[in-house]
Each structure stands twice: as C-alpha cells, then as structure tokens.
C-alpha cells in the first residue's frame, strides 16, 4: 500500500547557532554547551541534537524536533498566511 502525507502547516525556525533565534518557540530545557554550534532539542523520543543550518520544527501537537535542511526542503514548502 502507498500513502501520501496529509497537508499540514507547521512552524519552523532555522538554527543559527544562537539560542536567541529560538526564543519565539519557548522550547523547554534547551541544551547548548559553551562555544558549541549544536543545541539539544527535547523531543518526544528524547533529546536530539541540531547543528547550525538545521530546522527546528514545532509539530501539530506542540512537540519540537530538528530536521536536516535537505529533508526539510524536500518535505516542506512555504505556506502563505
């Protein structure tokens, strides 16, 4: 059987390496080591690491998870409000 992903609008921010860029999401328990360009994102599956350039996605139930840029570009397109 084949399935198609339902069209869903999500919120996402591209990680710049600075925690301030994620302020709008109010993500609890972010972890960034001093001088690191990576950040730990608490997800439903545990903490996942995002590198600079990765997208941080807020899911339809308010959950957060990182996504590599190539996967993000292949999966999502900009939604005009």
- Strands of the sheet containing 55-58, edge to edge, are 11-14, 55-58, 64-67
Q: What is the pLDDT along the chain (81 residues), one digit of tens a residue?
A: 998 888 888 999 999 988 888 888 988 888 887 678 899 999 999 999 999 999 999 998 899 999 999 999 999 988 876
Q: Are 50 and 15 within 8 A, CB to CB?
A: yes
- pTM of this structure: 0.85
Backbone angles phi, psi at 31, to 5 degrees: -130, 120
């Amino acid at each position: 059987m084949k399935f198609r992903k339902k069209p869903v609008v999500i919120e996402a921010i591209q990680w710049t390496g600075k925690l301030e860029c994620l302020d709008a999401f109010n993500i609890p328990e972010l972890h960034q080591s001093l001088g690191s360009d990576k950040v730990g994102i608490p997800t439903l599956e545990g903490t996942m690491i995002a590198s600079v350039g990765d997208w941080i996605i807020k899911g339809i139930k308010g959950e957060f998870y990182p996504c590599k840029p190539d996967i993000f570009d292949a999966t999502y397109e900009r939604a005009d409000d």
